[in-house]
Every structure is written in C-alpha cells, then in structure tokens.
A and B are shown apart, each in its own frame.
Chain A
Amino acid sequence: MNEHSFTFPLLHNTIGIMTPFLLAATGGLFTELAGMLNIALEGLMLIGAFFSVVFAGLTGSLFVGVLLGIASAMLVAALFGAVSLNLKANVFISGLATNLLASGLTVVLAFQIFGNKGVVRFEIATLPSLSIPALARIPILGDLLIGHNVLVYLSWLIVVLAAVVIYRTPFGLRIRGTGLGAPTITSLGLKPRRYQMAGILISGFTCGLAGAGLTLNLSAFVPNITSGRGWIALVAIYLGNKTPWGIVIASFIFGFAESFSNYAQGATNIPADFILAFPYLLTVLAMIGYSIWRHYRDRA
C-alpha cells in the first residue's frame, strides 16, 4: 500500500465531514458578530436533520425535504430569538433550552410517528454528487475537490456569500455594529434587536441545511445524530477568530480530526478518543495563547 492510498481518502472524507461544521459555524458567526452567544446551534441542526429527512420521506423529494428542514430550523430559531430578545431571557439559558427542546421533540415525534426511538430509515434517493470538471483541472487539489455531494459545494458558496455580506454590505456593517455596542446602532435610528434576530434566523437557516446534510446522506434519522457537531461549530467560530476564512480552516481541522479518528483504529496506535479530544485541546490552547498575547499587548 503506498502513501497516497491512505492520505487521499483521509483528506477527501475530511471535506465531506467538515461541511456541517462549516455551515453551522458560518451561520453562527452572524449571531456571534451581533453580540449574542449562540449555544443553540446544536439543537437547530438537530431540528433540521429530523424534519428534512421526514419531509423528504413524506414527499419523496429531497429538495422539498431540505427546504422544509431549513424552515423548521428557522422556526425554532425564531422561538429562541423571541424568548431571548422579547422576553429578555438569558441567551445562554434559552440556548440550552433550545438544545433540550430539539433532542426531546425529535425523539417524541419519531416515537409518535414511526413507533420507534432508534434508527428510522427512509426510502429516498441519496444526495446527488457533483463532478465539476473545472475543479478537477486544478493541480494536486483537483481530485480532492470533486465527487462530493451537492451540499458540500453549496456550503462553499454560502461561506463566500457570508464573507461578502459581512464585510461589503450595509447589513453586515450593522450586524457588526450591533455586536460592538448597541448605542452606536440606536443613535443611527436602527433597532439592534432586529439585527440580532436576523443573526439568529441566519444561523437557523445554515444549521437547518447542515442538519439536512447529515440525515439525507444516510437516508435515516438517528436520535441525537448531531452528537455535539453544533458545539464544535461554536468552537470553530472562536478558533477561526470570528472570520469566515478562519472558520473554514477551523472546520477543516475538526473535520480532519474526525476523519483521522475513523482511520486511526487500524492505522495507528493512538486511541481514537485522544484524537477526538485533540481539537478541543487545540482550541483551548489557541484561546489561551490569544488572551496572553492580548494581555501583554494592552499592557505595553
């Protein structure tokens, strides 16, 4: 076995695995920039995962499933936003509530509709893969970039779009302004709450899509299928220093760690659990390093 046959699938899988992190983190970035801690990414993703596959199964159309999965996640995001912004609940607690609601609601509904709390399978088509010839022609990277499902490419478009919106539009400026301090925004006659709500709804949109990717890939729903991916996405926002490009790199690191741990059992002596713990340790070290740097910079 040559070196290439091991590294290639490792990297190719990384690109698939990182997609839910990338999507959820990109949406979560809008909430974060608007000055709100979005702990609900996990729950919103789970809602998207459940409803997209259920609706795809009911209608027989993946497209309708994805759309309604996104709509469901946005609906729950709206609830999260309304409780946090209008009822003025602590955003951290209402985020936990959203996660708890999502894990409870999906299992209760699965049990009610399918009489089953385990894996629910659906007779639906798998997500179509795309082979974009233009990408294949890129030297070295080309082979890695082709043959992924359509949501992977959509996630790249969304990241680019997010970067443009955040840095090049008045809306993005206002979202960032809201996060820097509400008075600036109110003095312009704008409502900070509206931009925070927009940030939450955007995170609902991307989390819904991220969740749809998880279940439609399997053509099945598994309870708690997100298994901490929303939390990793939140961490990716911090590791990525709250920029879209940083999030791409952070998501790649998390995706690589998971991809590597899938291979590691047979290939190396490092236990898979250590590899799974590694991105968290890396992030906490990066955070500490960053705060040390800031600490001494402010002193000087």
Chain B
Amino acid sequence: MKRTRRVGELFAGTLGLLITLGISFLIAIVLIFLLSKDPLTTIYYFFVGPFTNKYYFGNMLNAAIPLVFTGLGIAVAFKSSVFNLGGEGQVYSGALVATVIMLALPESSGYLGGPVALAAGLATGAVLAGLSGFFKMKWGTDELISSFLISSAVVFIVNYFITGPLDDPGNSMLATYAIGKQYRFLAIFPPSKLDISAVFAILAGVLIFFLMYYTHWGYEMRMCGLNREFSRYGGINVSTFVVLPMIISGALHGLAGAVAIMGTYHVAVKEFSFGMGWNGIAVALIAKNNPLGVLPAAVFFAYLDAGAKAAMLHSDVTFEIAAIVQSVIFYLITAQAIYSFLRYRKRAPS
C-alpha cells in the first residue's frame, strides 16, 4: 500500500515536471513563430544550438556552475523551511571579499591564497545569511524580508568598492584589478570557459546530499522543515535549525561568487553576478530541493539561456525570450493544482 502510494507520488511529481517543461517549451515555440521571420532556423538554434560546437557547450556547462552552488544553497534552506532571499547580495559580496583577498596577498604566498580566498568568500555569505537566521532565532524577525533587505544594502556597498577604491582605471569597464594568474582555475574544455570548478560543483552536490540525508544534522534540518512543532516535541533543538540552514545557504552563495571570480571572470565587474541568486531559487525548485537534482536542474537552466543566446547570434530574435520561457516554468513549477490533479487521476481507477 505504502509503496504504491510512494510510486504514485513519484509518478505525479515527474509527470507534473514534464508537463511544466512541456508547456514552457510549447510557449517558446509559439513565441518564436510570432517573433521570428525564420522560425525554423530560430527553433533549431534555440533547442539544438548549445550542442552544435564545443565553445557553446562548454560555456553552457560553465554558466551552470554558480547556479549549482546557489541552487544547493536554496535547496538546503527550503528543505529546512527557512527562506533565504538574500542570495544576490551574498554571491556578490562573497565574490568581492574573495577578490580583495587575492589582490591583497603578496605574490610570494603562491597557491595558498586560493583556498584562503575561497574560504573568505564562503564566510562572507555565511555571515550575511547567518545574521538573518540569528535575528529569526532570537526575536522572530522574518528572515525572508530581513535577508532580502540586508542583501539589497550590501549590493550597493559592494558597488561602491568595485567602482570606487578597487576600480582599475586601466580597464574600460567598471571593474576591479584582475586577480593573479596563480589563482585562476584551470580551463578544462578549451576554447570554452569551462574550468575545473565544474568538479567542485559536482562534489558540492554530492556532499550536500550526503549532509542532508545521511547525517544527524541533515535529518534534524529536514525534520524541522517538515514540522517544526513536532520536531520540538521530538526533542530537536529547533532554534539551532533556523540558524544552521541559513549559514549553510549563505556559505554556498558566497562560494558561488568566489568560484565565479576564480574560474570565469578573474575581475569583479560591477553587477556581474546579478541573477545568480534569483536563478538559484528556480534551480532548487525544478530540482524539488533535492541536492542531486540541483545538478541537472542547473544545467537545464543554463541550457535555456545558452539556447536563447545561440538563437540571438544566428537568427533574428533577442536573448530575453529565455526570460519569458523561464517565467512560465516559474509560474507552473509550484502549482499544486497540477500535481493534485495528476494524483487524483492516478488514483481514480482503483
């Protein structure tokens, strides 16, 4: 009995996801027919473009890396029923602090500076998100709003440092000085930008999965996520599990920023990380907050962007159609009505 129910849930969940993605693809095709003078070429590049050469394919995977980290960060928080809406600021400030460390360390420190910078980026995100968790634990301040507000303030302060004291006047962009060669991650798929941090992203996915499903902490976080009151009666120190998921979530966001600098950008450009935080939320939701599911979900999200970019380069539509398609996925991904309808249909014959 129990087993059939579980299979039924899985069936409804998977079918619901497929329906959501199907509708969004359908809307993409309709949009292209409405907007493009040569819809068949556009559709070809939109769907197949990212696979046509090594450069596109590698860049698509590379764009997925920060989304894996931010997606994992959101998944940990959501799984524990804690809301971290400050992803944007945590990524951006993590990137800035990591950059500052790498610019400040003397050349003689060699490769040692890399891990230090990563740790500093991670800590920055952890502290920012942890603050909201702390306020929630201590006084019940809504962490959703407070994390968003802190993040918004931090974005301006990071902007100040990038365009002010750290600005490289030799660079035409609003960007800091470039980090040293010894800190840059190894490119593994030339000519694309894909670098060794892809391996870190996969490791992070496995590690977070292990943490959530095979450790005591993970169990307690998930229990608190399911029912906080019940967990309290069960003897779990629930207030800890407001702060801890926020800290882990922020740490992963900060890491996303540091990794993006060391792998892809090598300089902190003004507003370079915008969207990584928001898109992490979408990635986590597509993955149904499963850490292992975050990996394909991030690639899928990057695929939509890469497809739209390829379609823009080779045809007559603009890149932003990706945003419309993504918004359709956003709209439907949490729509309970679709899933309960499917569950109902599945159960009806018996």
Contact = CB atoms under 8 A, between A and B. Distances in A.
Interface of A: 37, 83, 86-90, 92-94, 96-98, 100-101, 103-105, 107-108, 111-112, 117, 228, 231, 235, 238, 271, 273-274, 276-278, 280-281, 283-284, 287-288, 291-292, 294-295
Contacts of B340: 88
B153 A107 contact: no
A105 B149 contact: no
User: Which of the listed residues B282, B318, B320, B335 has the most CB atoms from chain A within 10 Å of its own CB?
Assistant: B320
B337 interface: yes
A104 B325 CA distance: 9
A101 B333 CA distance: 15
A32 B64 CA distance: 35
B124 to A, nearest CB: 16
Given A100-B326, A117-B318, A288 B335 contact: no
Given A96-B278, A108-B318, A238-B145, A273 B327 contact: no
Interface stretch (B3-11, B156-164, B215-223, B229-237): B156-164
Q: Which 8 A-B pairs have the closest CB atoms?
A: A104-B323, A97-B330, A101-B327, A273-B160, A277-B156, A280-B153, A90-B334, A88-B336
Interface residues of B, number: 49
B157 A107 contact: no
Given A100-B324, A274-B157, A287-B149, 5 more contacts: A87-B338, A96-B281, A273-B157, A287-B146, A295-B140
Interface of B: 31, 35, 83, 135, 138-142, 144-146, 148-150, 152-157, 159-160, 163-164, 278, 281-282, 285, 317-318, 320-324, 326-328, 330-338, 340
11 contacts: A83-B335, A88-B340, A89-B335, A89-B337, A92-B83, A100-B324, A108-B31, A112-B318, A231-B152, A238-B145, A277-B153
Given A89-B336, A287-B141, A274 B156 contact: yes
Contacts of A235: 145, 149
A271 B334 contact: no
A295 B137 CA distance: 11
Contacts of B285: 93
A283 B147 CA distance: 12
B139 A295 contact: yes
Contact of A104 (B145, B163, B282, B321): B321
A238 B141 CA distance: 12
A101 B318 contact: no
Contact of A101 (B83, B138, B324): B324
Contacts of B159: 273
B261 to A, nearest CB: 20
A158 to B, nearest CB: 25
Contacts of A90: 334
B286 to A, nearest CB: 11
A104 B322 contact: yes
A56 B251 CA distance: 48
Contacts of B153: 277-278, 280-281, 284
Given A83-B331, A100-B326, A271 B164 contact: yes
Nearest to A274: B160
A111 B321 CA distance: 11
A231 B340 CA distance: 32
A89 B334 CA distance: 5
B337 A97 contact: no
A96 B318 CA distance: 21
Given A87-B338, A271-B160, A97 B139 contact: no
A284 B146 contact: yes
A104 B154 CA distance: 26
B331 A94 contact: yes
A100 B322 CA distance: 10
Contacts of B321: 104, 108
For chain B, what secondary structure do more than half of its interface residues adopt (helix, strand, loop), or is it mixed?
A: helix
Contacts, number: 138
A228 B340 CA distance: 35
B35 A97 contact: no
User: Which of the listed residues B150, B157, B160, B330 has the most CB atoms from chain A within 10 Å of its own CB?
Assistant: B330
B330 A93 contact: yes
Nearest to B329: A97
A257 B338 CA distance: 45
B335 A287 contact: no
A126 B337 CA distance: 46
B142 to A, nearest CB: 7
B324 A105 contact: yes
B281 to A, nearest CB: 7
Contacts of A105: 323-324
Contacts of A292: 139
A288 B318 contact: no
B323 A100 contact: yes
A116 to B, nearest CB: 10
A14 B221 CA distance: 46
A256 B141 CA distance: 26
A92 to B, nearest CB: 8
User: Which of the listed residues A37, A97, A100, A238 has the most CB atoms from chain B within 10 Å of its own CB?
Assistant: A100
B135 A288 contact: yes
A287 B145 contact: yes
Contacts of A89: 331-337
A232 B197 CA distance: 36
A141 to B, nearest CB: 31
Contacts of A283: 149
User: Which of the listed residues B142, B156, B282, B324 has the most CB atoms from chain A within 10 Å of its own CB?
Assistant: B156
Contacts of A284: 146, 149-150, 153
